[in-house]
Each structure stands twice: as C-alpha cells, then as structure tokens.
Amino acid sequence: MLIISPIQHNIISSIKAEHFLEQFQSDLLLTQQLTMQDHGSYYLLFQKQTNDYTLYDGESNQTMFHRPLPKDWSYQMNTTRSPIRFNRNGTIRHPGTMRFYSPDRSYKVTFPFGISRATIE
C-alpha cells in the first residue's frame, strides 16, 4: 500500500498537468482565431495576485472566461509579456518564452515568430 500511494499521486499530478497545458494551448488557439475572425482586441491577461489568466475582449470590455492555474502552480513571463495578443493575421505580437512551475516540474512555453502555435517542453 505504501508503494502504490506515491505512484498514484504522481499519475494524478501528471494527468492534471497534462489537462491544464492542453487547456492552455486551446485557449491560445481560441484567442488567435477570435482575433483573426472577429477583431484584434482579444487577449490573454495573466494576473500574479490571483494566479490566473483571463480571455478578455477589449472591444466590448467583457471577460470571455477566467482560468485559475492549478493549485500550487505559478508562472513567470521570461521574454514574452502579458497580455498575450495576436495580430489580425494570427502572428503573436510579442514572441518569446514563459514558464509554468508545478510542485515537481517546470514547463517552458515558447511563442515563436510567425503564426505557428506555442510549444510546451
């Protein structure tokens, strides 16, 4: 029983991390698509004090959704900055990197030049 418990915790932690990172990538794609199809005022705004991010529509001044980071996670903007915005052609305005930190891992998110998607390592 003592051997199984840590293994289960690691598996659950890994599944939660995978789910969050997939959701984040989907949210980035949604922000990019809305910007290209609707108007150029959509962006993802990260907030340290609440440890979350929000998809915001700057044209209508409305929050589309709000997503907290998983418990005990944090983030750091390295060479990119918040808010994350795209141009009307789908290009990220400020390419660079950021990191998500879980209790046992670090995930590097790279926003390359051009209209390609972010990569997570």
Residue 100 burial class via C-beta count within 10 angstroms: exposed 0-12, middle 13-18, buried 19 and up: buried
Total count of domains within the chain: 1
User: Can you tell me the mean pLDDT for 34-45?
Assistant: 93
64 secondary structure, DSSP code: E
Check residue 3 and give its pLDDT: 53
Report the alpha-carbon angle 46-47-52, nearest 5: 75
pTM summary value: 0.88
Residue 31 belongs to domain spanning: 4-120
Mean pLDDT score of the chain: 90
8 A C-beta contact, residue 1 and residue 92? no
Check residue 97 and give its pLDDT: 97
Return the CATH number at 12.
3.55.40.10
Q: Binning pLDDT at 50, 70 and 90, where does residue 49 land?
A: very high
86-104 tens-digit pLDDT: 999 999 999 999 999 999 8
User: Can you tell me the mean pLDDT for 113-117?
Assistant: 78
Reply yes or no on whether the pLDDT at 2 is more than 60.
no
The rounded Cα 5 to chain-centroid distance in angstroms is: 30
